[in-house]
Amino acid sequence: MPAELKVLGACPLDCPDGCSWVVTVRDGKAVRIRGNPDHPYTRGALCAKVNRWLERAEQPDRLLHPMRRTGRKGEGRFERVGWDEALDEIAERLEGVVREHGGEAVWPYWGTGTLGYLQGLEGYSGRRFFNVLGASAHDANICSAAGAAGLEATIGSPGGMDPQDLAHARLLILWGTNPLTSGHHVWAFVQAARKAGAHLVVIDPVRTRTARQADEHLAPLPGTDAALALALLHVVVGLGAQDEEFLARRTQGWEEFRARIAEFPPERAAEITGVPADRIRALGERLARTRPTAIRATQGIQRNAGGGSTLRVLASIPGVTGDWARLGGGLSFSTSGHVKLNKAALYRDDLRPRPVRTLSMSRLGEGLLDVRDPPVKALFVIAANPVGSTPHQGRVRRGLAREDLFTVVLDQFPTDTVDYADIVLPATSQHEHTDLHEGYGHLYLTWNEPAVAPPGECLPTAETFRRLARRMGLEEPSLYDSDESLAEQLLDSDHPWMAGVTLDRLREEGFVRMSVPDPFLPYADGFPTPSGRLEFRSALAAAAGADPVAGYTPPAEVADAARAARYPFALVSAASHESLNTQFANNPELRRRRGGPSVRLHPGDAERLGLRDGQRVRVANDRGAFEATLELTDQVRTGVAATAKGHWPKLSGGANANAVVDERDTDLGGGPVFHDTRVEITAIPDDQEDER
Ligand SMILES: Nc1nc2c(c(=O)[nH]1)N[C@H]1C(S)=C(S)[C@@H](COP(=O)(O)OP(=O)(O)OC[C@H]3O[C@@H](n4cnc5c(=O)[nH]c(N)nc54)[C@H](O)[C@@H]3O)O[C@H]1N2
Ligand SMILES: Nc1nc2c(c(=O)[nH]1)N[C@H]1C(S)=C(S)[C@@H](COP(=O)(O)OP(=O)(O)OC[C@H]3O[C@@H](n4cnc5c(=O)[nH]c(N)nc54)[C@H](O)[C@@H]3O)O[C@H]1N2
Ligand code: SF4
Ligand SMILES: [Mo]
């Protein structure tokens, strides 16, 4: 065996970039990790967080053995037990719950800790096991459900442009997305467009790292983007710059949408968004004269009550200008809609003994406290940290503290959620197991070969469920399929875009581009909607109880005048540079760089309230509160408070931003409304601070 090996793998994190990585292994130990220089999207670089991947896996707080709770729920006191004992106890409790309350009393709560098809969310590792039990289905809607549903109702799927083709745009609008923090590999293509003369606009209530690089930055109030977009189209149509031929041949509902556009002159949009009318008019004129225009919007823009409608209107812009027909024109959100793997073969939902109800990931508090017939009696938390990530933290904690709830958590670290587990099972890290990935920001599939043996008694999630199935004596043979066999079944797709994408090639080359046409104009032959056209008017939206015509749905709390009088700031809690959701938030070096939770305000807003830079503050509303250090900066627009997601509550005074976020659905898709939250900010008196 050679002394040094290079093993190709895939970053498993919930990030559009889906990087391919190279792990150097010396004497059985992983000694170096770097971005794959041969991958056209990764281009040799990882990111500030994942450069520390190997260090993270060796942190002293890594979970290495199964544990059983000894303290109260939430306290985090455990004793070590063996795998046999842990699996016996789980099997017995689970059989009891299914016997007494039925399979639907079991909730497999999968998170986004890994997006792998074999170990994580994309394939819902263990899904076959839960299907055999007849467990409740899990709607993993916490991230991009609203936008995906809005796009499905408009262009047929969340597919959109290949982000690499942003390089061909001449006007590029980064809309409610902060890629220099949340997925920086797209930047090479943004820069290529600029080199060729493209004008770059960023639309974000905060002058982010990304906005600071742009030619132009507009700062609307959160959740008001659809009004802004309609006003841009008002200018386009006023100039007669719409593409009549495209509208006639490729769209449905133009007359109604046109009437909607007429309701939003720039002056009205200025009132709603807080962006001056002359700036809206100027951008509208630029949009009218610049072909092709590309819009890149990711998840940040759809975390408010109108998130689905917003993506409907944004995807309608290239429908009006005809840019969907041009390379470098259109909209890019997530390429996941283009991935044509045989997911049904992996999921095997046909194994369910009968149809089952679906529980919403974003409503864990409700699911544990209010849902009946049957109530949830057994909860499996798999690669998720809902105490840190899910809306309305106080309710989530109350739900998890229920004495009659049996909770199993599979994780790598002792998170706030682990503290509520009855049984904790230690999971492998990506370079210790096998997996297959897509990247939702590109068109490659990536293979992850294990580089080293797992530490301690850690097991891959898929293997954990094989062992649990055996322990319970389940006879369905497909529960015991190996990782390789699962990958083969997933790749067994007859869609032309999957031609030539084989397990052998993936293993050999590390990544394979899907066989999409080149150049990639996904809607050249029509849209995958019921009408085959871009649907300004959508029956799907109507069936979901939303306005059938794409339009502006105001944010719930941001636009609520009564609430604004009580809670003056609209809080956004976006991606932090130093963590990936709650992952890496316990890494000592990244914690040191990041500092504790902060909240940023415009100096003018702070002055009115007598608040000082650097002061300790309480960010609160009627749902809860978290503590932070106040930072005054004109990078945040007035009326907005900016903080970051992902802090571990137990490392930050007991709560994070989700203490104040409501458990409420978006207009389409049932997504959460993280960036549609009103708060007050008050100083914590110095003496109180000393007591802490
Ligand atoms: N470093 C790092 N990278 C990450 C993550 C992370 O935690 N850290 N998280 C990953 C995950 S899970 C996801 S889903 C993506 C999310 O990445 P993004 O899609 O970039 O989402 P956010 O970070 O939530 O918000 C992006 C920007 O949108 C702005 N914004 C908020 N509300 C609105 C609005 O209503 N309108 C407009 N125009 N702007 C708004 C925020 O101020 C923020 O600057 O990033 C992934 N990448
Ligand atoms: N306030 C606010 N909250 C937010 C957001 C926001 O914008 N604002 N964004 C939301 C978004 S976009 C998302 S995607 C969610 C994410 O929320 P979650 O799905 O809860 O994701 P993480 O916080 O990353 O927690 C994932 C856990 O999985 C574990 N893990 C990682 N890999 C594996 C593995 O291979 N096996 C197992 N068993 N465990 C593993 C990690 O150690 C970690 O504890 O958070 C949401 N929360
Ligand atoms: S988090 Fe994103 S940018 Fe960083 S390595 Fe993973 S896929 Fe690449
Ligand atoms: Mo996400």
With the CA atoms of 166, 167, 170 and 176 taken in that order, what torsion angle do they form, in degrees rounded to the nearest 10? 40
- Is 180 near ligand 3, meaning CB less than 6 Å away? no
Mean pLDDT score, 408-417: 98
- Is 93 near ligand 1, meaning CB less than 6 Å away? no
Closest residue by Cα to atom 13, ligand 2, is 143
Q: How confident is the model at residue 689 (pLDDT cuts 50, 70, 90)?
A: low
CATH number belonging to domain 146-333: 3.40.228.10
| Nearest C-alpha neighbor of 224 from the set 639, 597, 511, 539 | 639
Q: What is the DSSP string of 47-99?
A: -TTGGGHHHHHT-TT---S-EEE-S-TTT--EEE--HHHHHHHHHHHHHHHHH
- Is 657 near ligand 2, meaning CB less than 6 Å away? yes
pLDDT at 320 > cutoff 70: yes
Mean pLDDT score, 609-623: 97
Q: What is the per-residue pLDDT for 125? A: 82
Distance CA 62, CA 454 (A): 12
Q: Which atom of ligand 3 is nearest to the CA of 47?
A: 4
Q: Which atom of ligand 3 is nearest to the CA of 12?
A: 6
Domain boundaries, the chain: 4-57, 67-143+339-513, 146-333, 561-691
Whether residue 231 contacts residue 284, with contact meaning beta carbons closer than 8 Å, is answered with yes
Q: How far is the CA of 678 from the centre of ligand 2 (A)?
A: 23
Q: What is the per-residue pLDDT for 3? A: 79
CATH fold of 561-691, please?
Answer: Barwin-like endoglucanases (2.40.40)
- Is 645 near ligand 2, meaning CB less than 6 Å away? yes
Return contacts of 43-49, CB within 8 angstroms, 24+ apart: 43/185, 43/188, 45/185, 46/11, 46/19, 46/21, 47/15, 47/17, 47/19, 47/184, 48/577, 48/578, 48/590, 49/13, 49/578, 49/579, 49/580, 49/583, 49/584, 49/590
Give, rounded to a whole angstrom, the gap between the first and last alpha carbons of the chain: 56
Tell me the longest C-alpha to C-alpha distance in the chain.
73
Distance CA 477, CA 474 (A): 8
Measured from the alpha carbon of residue 334, the closest ligand is 1
- Is 176 near ligand 1, meaning CB less than 6 Å away? yes
Cis peptide preceding 426, ω within 30 of 0: no
Return contacts of 276-284, CB within 8 angstroms, 24+ apart: 279/218, 280/218, 280/228, 280/231, 280/232, 280/235, 281/235, 283/201, 283/216, 283/218, 283/232, 284/231, 284/232, 284/233, 284/234, 284/235, 284/236, 284/238
Number of C-beta neighbours around residue 141 at 10 A: 21
- Is 205 near ligand 1, meaning CB less than 6 Å away? yes
Q: How far is the CA of 344 from the centre of ligand 2 (A)?
A: 24
Whether residue 638 contacts residue 602, with contact meaning beta carbons closer than 8 Å, is answered with yes
pLDDT digits (tens, 9 = 90+) for 62-97: 999 999 999 999 999 999 999 999 999 999 999 999
DSSP state of 390: S
Q: What is the DSSP string of 467-511?
A: HHHHHTT---GGGG--HHHHHHHHH----GGGTT--HHHHHHHSE
The CATH number for 67-143+339-513, chosen from 3.40.50.740, 3.10.105.10, 3.30.1120.130, 3.40.50.300, is 3.40.50.740
- Is 18 near ligand 3, meaning CB less than 6 Å away? yes
Measured from the alpha carbon of residue 645, the closest ligand is 2
Q: How confident is the model at residue 122 (pLDDT cuts 50, 70, 90)?
A: confident
Average pLDDT, the chain: 97
Q: What is the per-residue pLDDT for 687? A: 65
pLDDT digits (tens, 9 = 90+) for 569-588: 999 999 999 999 999 999 99
- Is 298 near ligand 2, meaning CB less than 6 Å away? no
Q: How confident is the model at residue 691 (pLDDT cuts 50, 70, 90)?
A: very low
Number of C-beta neighbours around residue 247 at 10 A: 21
Q: What is the per-residue pLDDT for 539? A: 98
Q: How far is the CA of 388 from the centre of ligand 2 (A)?
A: 8
Measured from the alpha carbon of residue 302, the closest ligand is 1
Query: Which of 303-317, 381-395, 570-584, 675-689 shows the lowest mean pLDDT across its residues?
Result: 675-689
Give 619's contacts (C-beta < 8 A, 6+ positions apart): 571, 599, 625, 626, 627, 628, 641, 643, 657, 660, 679, 680, 681
- Is 182 near ligand 2, meaning CB less than 6 Å away? no
Measured from the alpha carbon of residue 314, the closest ligand is 1
Closest residue by Cα to atom 6, ligand 3, is 11
pLDDT digits (tens, 9 = 90+) for 517-541: 999 999 988 999 999 999 999 999 9
Token output for 365: 């508090």
Closest residue by Cα to atom 7, ligand 2, is 574
The strand pairing partners of 437, in sequence order, are 446
Closest residue by Cα to atom 31, ligand 1, is 300
| Residue listed under structure tokens 């971005």 | 35
Whether residue 35 contacts residue 456, with contact meaning beta carbons closer than 8 Å, is answered with no
Whether residue 429 contacts residue 412, with contact meaning beta carbons closer than 8 Å, is answered with yes
Give the pairing type, strands 29-35 and 20-26.
Answer: antiparallel
Strand, coil or helix: 624: strand
Q: How far is the CA of 582 from the centre of ligand 4 (A)?
A: 11
Mean pLDDT score, 246-262: 98
Q: What is the per-residue pLDDT for 395? A: 98
CA atoms within 13 A on the CB side of 415: 30
Mean pLDDT score, 605-634: 97
Closest residue by Cα to atom 15, ligand 1, is 182
Mean pLDDT score, 212-230: 98
Strand, coil or helix: 558: coil
Q: Is the dihedral of CA 531, 535, 539, 543 positive or negative?
A: positive
Measured from the alpha carbon of residue 222, the closest ligand is 1
With the CA atoms of 245, 251, 255 and 257 taken in that order, what torsion angle do they form, in degrees rounded to the nearest 10? -120
- Is 17 near ligand 3, meaning CB less than 6 Å away? yes
- Is 47 near ligand 3, meaning CB less than 6 Å away? yes
- Mutate which of 8, 14, 15, 187 to test ligand 3's pocket (most atoms within 8 Å of Cβ)? 15
Measured from the alpha carbon of residue 120, the closest ligand is 2
Q: How confident is the model at residue 2 (pLDDT cuts 50, 70, 90)?
A: low
Q: Which helix (H) or strand (E) holds 272?
A: helix 266-273
Q: What is the per-residue pLDDT for 690? A: 46
Domains 67-143+339-513 and 561-691 belong to one CATH topology: no
Q: How far is the CA of 209 from the centre of ligand 1 (A)?
A: 12
| Nearest C-alpha neighbor of 454 from the set 64, 13, 60 | 64
Query: 4-57 architecture in CATH?
Result: Single Sheet (2.20)
Whether residue 147 contacts residue 158, with contact meaning beta carbons closer than 8 Å, is answered with yes
Measured from the alpha carbon of residue 298, the closest ligand is 1
Whether residue 325 contacts residue 164, with contact meaning beta carbons closer than 8 Å, is answered with no
| % of the chain with per-residue pLDDT over 90 | 97
Closest residue by Cα to atom 17, ligand 2, is 389
Mean pLDDT score, 368-376: 98
With the CA atoms of 168, 169, 173 and 175 taken in that order, what torsion angle do they form, in degrees rounded to the nearest 10? -40
Size of the chain, expressed as the number of residues it contains: 692
Mean pLDDT score, 432-450: 98
Whether residue 185 contacts residue 199, with contact meaning beta carbons closer than 8 Å, is answered with no
- Is 538 near ligand 2, meaning CB less than 6 Å away? no
- Is 222 near ligand 1, meaning CB less than 6 Å away? yes
Distance CA 249, CA 526 (A): 9
Q: How confident is the model at residue 601 (pLDDT cuts 50, 70, 90)?
A: very high
Token output for 43: 């281009």
- Is 119 near ligand 2, meaning CB less than 6 Å away? yes
pLDDT digits (tens, 9 = 90+) for 303-317: 999 999 999 999 999
pLDDT digits (tens, 9 = 90+) for 125-152: 899 999 999 999 999 999 999 999 999 9
Number of C-beta neighbours around residue 593 at 10 A: 11
- Is 178 near ligand 1, meaning CB less than 6 Å away? yes
Q: How far is the CA of 268 from the centre of ligand 3 (A)?
A: 40
Closest residue by Cα to atom 44, ligand 2, is 385
Q: How far is the CA of 228 from the centre of ligand 3 (A)?
A: 31
| Residue listed under structure tokens 């283009």 | 338
Distance CA 50, CA 184 (A): 13
